[in-house]
C-alpha cells in the first residue's frame, strides 16, 4: 500500500501522500457516520417530507378514490378557515396562560424549596409526582374532579356554600379548567429545572454582590435573574412547544367544546385527520403547526445564544 510509506514525522513541505491521507480520512469519517445519518434521515426527515407531500394532495380516507394532486389549495383553504384561525387563537391563549402560570409558580416554588428548611427534600420529591403521571390519566382524573354533578371540586365548592359550577361546559371556564390541569401537571417540572439552576448558582458571587453594596431585591434582579436566564429560556422553549402540541387534556376533558372554546390546534388537526378523515387538509395543518413550533423555538434559541451583556 502506498499509504504505508507515509512519513508521519517528517517536517517541512506537505507531501502528496499526506494529501491522500487526508482524503482517505474524510472518506472514513463519512463512512462511519453514514449509518446514523441514514437512520436519522429515515426517522426525522422522511415523515416531514411525506407530510409536505400529502399536504399538497386531496386525500379523503373514507372515499375509494386515490389521492389527487391539489397544489396549494389545502393551504389556501386553511387561510380562509375560521375554525382554523379559532384553533390557533385558542392554542395561543392556552400556551400563554398555562406556561405563564407554570413559570411563575415554578419559579416561586423553586425559591421556597431552595431554602434549607427541614423536610424540604421529602416535600420536593412528593411535588414531582404529578409530572410522572400519564397526561391521558391526568385528563381523566381532572375530568371527573371538575364534573358538574359529582366532581369533588364542585362538592367542596357546595360545602363551602357555592352553587355548582359547570367547569368543563362553560366557555372561558372550560379553557381555564384545562389550563389549571396543565399547571397542576407541569409546574413541578418547571420547579425542578429552576431548583437545579438555583442550586448551581455560585455562592461566592452573592458574597461579592454584598460587598459591592446590593440589597436583596437588587441582588435578585441584577445577579440571580441574569444568571438564571439560560434556565428560564430552556424551560420556556420546552414548555411552550410541549403545550402547543398537547392534545391529551382536551381529548379527555372537553373534546374541544363547548362550541370550539377549547379547540386547540392539535385537537382540530386530530379531528380533521382521523374523524373526517381529510388527510391532505390535516397534513397542511400539521405543516403550518410545524412552522409555528420552529419559529417559536428559534426565537427562544436565538435569545439563548446571544450572549447578552448587561452593564
**What are the Cα distances from residue 72, in Å, to 52, 63, 81, 116, 249?**
10, 21, 14, 59, 32
For residues 228 to 267, the per-residue mask of contacts with another protein, x marking binding by CB under 8 A and - elsewhere, is -x--------------------------------------
Stretch that binds another protein, among 81-89, 202-210, 233-241, 251-259 (CB under 8 A): 202-210
> Taking the complex as a whole, how short is the minimal distance between the CB of residue 225 and another protein, in angstroms?
9
216 near another protein (CB under 8 A) = no
> Taking the complex as a whole, how short is the minimal distance between the CB of residue 202 and another protein, in angstroms?
7
**What are the Cα distances from residue 202, in Å, to 50, 121, 187, 308?**
48, 20, 25, 20
310 near another protein (CB under 8 A) = yes
Distance CA 243, CA 175 (A): 13
> Binding another protein by CB under 8 A: which of 212, 276, 294, 301?
212
Choose between 62 and 211: whose C-beta lies nearer to another protein. 211
Distance CA 177, CA 144 (A): 12
Are 101 and 176 in contact by the 8 Å Cβ rule? The answer is no
Task: Kindly state the cell numbers that stand for 35.
Answer: 449509518
Stretch that binds another protein, among 3-11, 208-216, 264-272, 298-306 (CB under 8 A): 208-216
290 near another protein (CB under 8 A) = no
Q: In 10 A of CB 22, how many CB atoms? A: 11
**Cis status of the peptide bond prior to 277, with omega within 30 of 0:** yes
> Binding another protein by CB under 8 A: which of 105, 141, 176, 227?
227
Distance CA 262, CA 254 (A): 7
Q: CB-based contacts of 69: which residues, under 8 Å, 6+ apart?
A: 56, 57, 58
196 near another protein (CB under 8 A) = no
118 near another protein (CB under 8 A) = no
311 near another protein (CB under 8 A) = yes
Contacts with another protein by CB under 8 A: the residue count is 21
> Taking the complex as a whole, how short is the minimal distance between the CB of residue 213 and another protein, in angstroms?
4
Q: Which residues bind another protein (CB under 8 A)?
A: 202, 204-205, 207-208, 210-215, 218, 223, 226-227, 229, 307-311
Amino acid at each position: 500500500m502506498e499509504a504505508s510509506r507515509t512519513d508521519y514525522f517528517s517536517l517541512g513541505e506537505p507531501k502528496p501522500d499526506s494529501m491522500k491521507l487526508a482524503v482517505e480520512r474524510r472518506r472514513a469519517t463519512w463512512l462511519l457516520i453514514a449509518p446514523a445519518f441514514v437512520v436519522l434521515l429515515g426517522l426525522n426527515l422522511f415523515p416531514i417530507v411525506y407530510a409536505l407531500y400529502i399536504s399538497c394532495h386531496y386525500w379523503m380516507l373514507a372515499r375509494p378514490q386515490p389521492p389527487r394532486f391539489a397544489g396549494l389549495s389545502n393551504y389556501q383553504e386553511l387561510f380562509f378557515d375560521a375554525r382554523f384561525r379559532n384553533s390557533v387563537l385558542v392554542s395561543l391563549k392556552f400556551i400563554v396562560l398555562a406556561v405563564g402560570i407554570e413559570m411563575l409558580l415554578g419559579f416561586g416554588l423553586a425559591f421556597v424549596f431552595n431554602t434549607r428548611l427541614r423536610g424540604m427534600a421529602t416535600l420536593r420529591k412528593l411535588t414531582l409526582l404529578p409530572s410522572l403521571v400519564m397526561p391521558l390519566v391526568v385528563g381523566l382524573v381532572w375530568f371527573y374532579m371538575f364534573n358538574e354533578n359529582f366532581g369533588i371540586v364542585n362538592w367542596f365548592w357546595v360545602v363551602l356554600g357555592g352553587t355548582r359550577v359547570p367547569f368543563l361546559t362553560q366557555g372561558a371556564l372550560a379553557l381555564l379548567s384545562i389550563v389549571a390541569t396543565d399547571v397542576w401537571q407541569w409546574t413541578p417540572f418547571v420547579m425542578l429545572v429552576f431548583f437545579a439552576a438555583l442550586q448551581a448558582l455560585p455562592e461566592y458571587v452573592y458574597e461579592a454582590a454584598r460587598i459591592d453594596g446590593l440589597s436583596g431585591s437588587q441582588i435578585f434582579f441584577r445577579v440571580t435573574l441574569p444568571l438564571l436566564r439560560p434556565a428560564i429560556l430552556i424551560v420556556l422553549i420546552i414548555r411552550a412547544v410541549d403545550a402547543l402540541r398537547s392534545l391529551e387534556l382536551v381529548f379527555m376533558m372537553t373534546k374541544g367544546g363547548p362550541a370550539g372554546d377549547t379547540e386547540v390546534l392539535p385537537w382540530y388537526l386530530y379531528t380533521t385527520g382521523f374523524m373526517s378523515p381529510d388527510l391532505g387538509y390535516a397534513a397542511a395543518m400539521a405543516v403550518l403547526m410545524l412552522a409555528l413550533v420552529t419559529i417559536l423555538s428559534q426565537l427562544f434559541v436565538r435569545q439563548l445564544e446571544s450572549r447578552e451583556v448587561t452593564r
